[in-house]
Chains A and B, each alone.
Chain A
């Protein structure tokens, strides 16, 4: 039995939706709302790995009792364990390249989640966070996962900090741009988990940071996004949205690097 616990199709939650739709394997979808803290409730799967998951708020895949979390490694798991379209090339060099992107994209994802949460989620909390939000956040473990929510509740990011995040993101996006000049797909000649990973994390950027992703600065990224949108699996994955605006669905993600 295959079950996916997920939210709106964006960011970490979008990755396994695309991969499962590419594979065309049937699965049970459990939609949950992380902004209502449902992932801390008793209905949601729990384990050490899920609690300490460095993506923090993200999807969980349950496959015959095994609980998989961590969105890039979930993509690798789907690629390795499930039948259907190959999402990893047979060539070890291409697989290395995909995994190396997985690492770099984790850093990009952290910055995107932060900028998206500040833009779309923080204003909701600013309108007055109800007592139930305060009490739900107070119970979150481990500490750094709780503090990520706290920072949003308290409006903890000033413009200077956000400008530094945008600078760093701009640098990282230029590396994606450069890679896409050389090749249609990130990890080499064939479509792979790296493309799913990248798309899920950056497809919202033309709207979120138009100063960084636009026809002048990143023409190849825009073409890549079009190529991805043209895939029917991507369309089906985006179709899981209940709000109709998945590009505004953000929660705190991985922590931007504290060191080196």
Chain B
């Protein structure tokens, strides 16, 4: 039996959700509430001791890195191929996924945690929050949560993240101006990865990502939004985070 532990269809959780939907693979869905710290509860730490989401369990093996997890999904299951055959195109797909994962996503995520995750989680009792932080297994995640909960982001680092988001949007727009998909003529994990990062940009960064300034990004997002697998995946969302996808509805 295939199990996926995930939060909203968004960022890292959304990557395997959308990849599985595109492959047409059924899975047992285990929704964890990230803002309620479900990912640090003992039941989940028994699955992924790092306490990060997502985690995929297949034939008793646990997979916890979302981008390599998508490649595993493509290799281990039947269904349409989600990676190009040509090694140079595959390299290009991976280059873009790293650009998304290690450059674009962290900057966007820092902004998201400062305006959304931190304030949402802060509603809880401070004692409960302090205990919740103590339970976080990875030191790097503990630092991240502390920063978000106590709003310890410096103006400089937020400004640098905004600069990078703007820069990355420009790089992506230039790329999509010359190519319908991230890599060549077919839809791939590169698009799935990018969509999970970028689907809400027209809402969260309306001045930077819109029909006038970034028409190719907008068209690319809408084309992905219209795929049945995307509809099906975002229907699993439970909060207003996933509902942001409605912005991609054509007028």
Q: Using CB atoms and an 8 Å cutoff, list the residues of chain A in contact with chain B.
A: 48-49, 52, 54, 63, 66, 68-70, 73-74, 76-77, 80-81, 92-93, 95-96, 99-100, 102-104, 106, 142, 144, 168, 171, 254, 257-260
A-B contact list, 5 entries, CB within 8 Å: A48-B174, A54-B102, A66-B91, A80-B87, A104-B65
The residue that B68 contacts in the complex, of A49, A103, A259, with Cβ under 8 A, is A103
In whole angstroms, what is the CA distance A93 to B88 when docked?
Answer: 23
Residues of B within 8 A of A63 (CB): 88
Residues of B within 8 A of A99 (CB): 65, 67-68, 71
Q: How many A-B residue pairs have CB under 8 A?
A: 97
CB neighbors of A among B83-110 (8 A): 87-88, 90-92, 94-95, 98-99, 101-103, 106-107, 109-110
How many residues does chain B have at the interface if contact means C-beta atoms less than 8 Å apart? 40
Counting chain B CB atoms within 10 Å of each CB, the highest count among A69, A92, A104, A254 belongs to: A92
Residues of B within 8 A of A106 (CB): 98, 102
Asked if A68 and B102 make an inter-chain contact with CB atoms under 8 angstroms apart, the answer reads no
Asked if A93 and B61 make an inter-chain contact with CB atoms under 8 angstroms apart, the answer reads yes
Asked if B68 and A54 make an inter-chain contact with CB atoms under 8 angstroms apart, the answer reads no
The residue that B63 contacts in the complex, of A70, A96, A171, with Cβ under 8 A, is A96
Residues of B within 8 A of A95 (CB): 71-72, 75
Asked if A142 and B98 make an inter-chain contact with CB atoms under 8 angstroms apart, the answer reads no
State whether the Cβ of B48 lies closer than 8 Å to any Cβ in chain A: no
The residue that A92 contacts in the complex, of B64, B72, B92, B157, with Cβ under 8 A, is B72
Asked if A171 and B109 make an inter-chain contact with CB atoms under 8 angstroms apart, the answer reads no
State whether the Cβ of B69 lies closer than 8 Å to any Cβ in chain A: yes
Shortest CB distance B160–A (Å): 8
Asked if A70 and B98 make an inter-chain contact with CB atoms under 8 angstroms apart, the answer reads yes
Shortest CB distance A97–B (Å): 8
Asked if A168 and B99 make an inter-chain contact with CB atoms under 8 angstroms apart, the answer reads no
Residues of A within 8 A of B161 (CB): 258-259
In whole angstroms, what is the CA distance A106 to B91 when docked?
Answer: 16
In whole angstroms, what is the CA distance A171 to B50 when docked?
Answer: 13
Asked if A168 and B140 make an inter-chain contact with CB atoms under 8 angstroms apart, the answer reads yes
Contacts A260-B113, A260-B140 given; 17 further ones with Cβ under 8 A? A54-B99, A68-B88, A70-B94, A73-B95, A74-B91, A76-B94, A92-B76, A95-B72, A102-B68, A254-B102, A257-B102, A258-B107, A259-B106, A259-B107, A260-B109, A260-B110, A260-B141
Asked if A77 and B91 make an inter-chain contact with CB atoms under 8 angstroms apart, the answer reads yes
Residues of A within 8 A of B167 (CB): 142
Helix, strand, loop or mixed for chain B's interface? helix
Counting chain B CB atoms within 10 Å of each CB, the highest count among A63, A66, A77, A96 belongs to: A96
State whether the Cβ of B45 lies closer than 8 Å to any Cβ in chain A: no
Shortest CB distance B189–A (Å): 12
State whether the Cβ of B131 lies closer than 8 Å to any Cβ in chain A: no
In whole angstroms, what is the CA distance A192 to B63 when docked?
Answer: 19
Residues of A within 8 A of B164 (CB): 144
State whether the Cβ of B144 lies closer than 8 Å to any Cβ in chain A: yes
As a 0/1 sequence over residues 139 to 156 of chain B, the CB contacts with chain A under 8 angstroms (1 = contact) are: 111001000000000000
Asked if A73 and B72 make an inter-chain contact with CB atoms under 8 angstroms apart, the answer reads no
In whole angstroms, what is the CA distance A168 to B95 when docked?
Answer: 26
State whether the Cβ of B171 lies closer than 8 Å to any Cβ in chain A: yes
Closest residue of chain A to B96 (Cβ to Cβ) is A49
Asked if A92 and B106 make an inter-chain contact with CB atoms under 8 angstroms apart, the answer reads no
Residues of B within 8 A of A103 (CB): 65, 67-68, 101
Known contacts A77-B88, A260-B140; is-contact A100 B98 (Cβ 8 Å): no
In whole angstroms, what is the CA distance A73 to B87 when docked?
Answer: 10
The residue that B144 contacts in the complex, of A52, A73, A81, A259, with Cβ under 8 A, is A259
Known contacts A259-B110, A260-B106; is-contact A73 B140 (Cβ 8 Å): no
Counting chain A CB atoms within 10 Å of each CB, the highest count among B71, B75, B87 belongs to: B87
Residues of B within 8 A of A49 (CB): 92, 95
Closest residue of chain A to B98 (Cβ to Cβ) is A54
Closest residue of chain A to B167 (Cβ to Cβ) is A142
The residue that A258 contacts in the complex, of B75, B87, B106, with Cβ under 8 A, is B106
Asked if B157 and A258 make an inter-chain contact with CB atoms under 8 angstroms apart, the answer reads yes
Asked if B61 and A81 make an inter-chain contact with CB atoms under 8 angstroms apart, the answer reads no
Residues of A within 8 A of B88 (CB): 63, 66, 68, 77, 81
Asked if B106 and A73 make an inter-chain contact with CB atoms under 8 angstroms apart, the answer reads no
In whole angstroms, what is the CA distance A259 to B75 when docked?
Answer: 30
Closest residue of chain B to A167 (Cβ to Cβ) is B139
Known contacts A171-B139, A259-B106; is-contact A96 B72 (Cβ 8 Å): yes
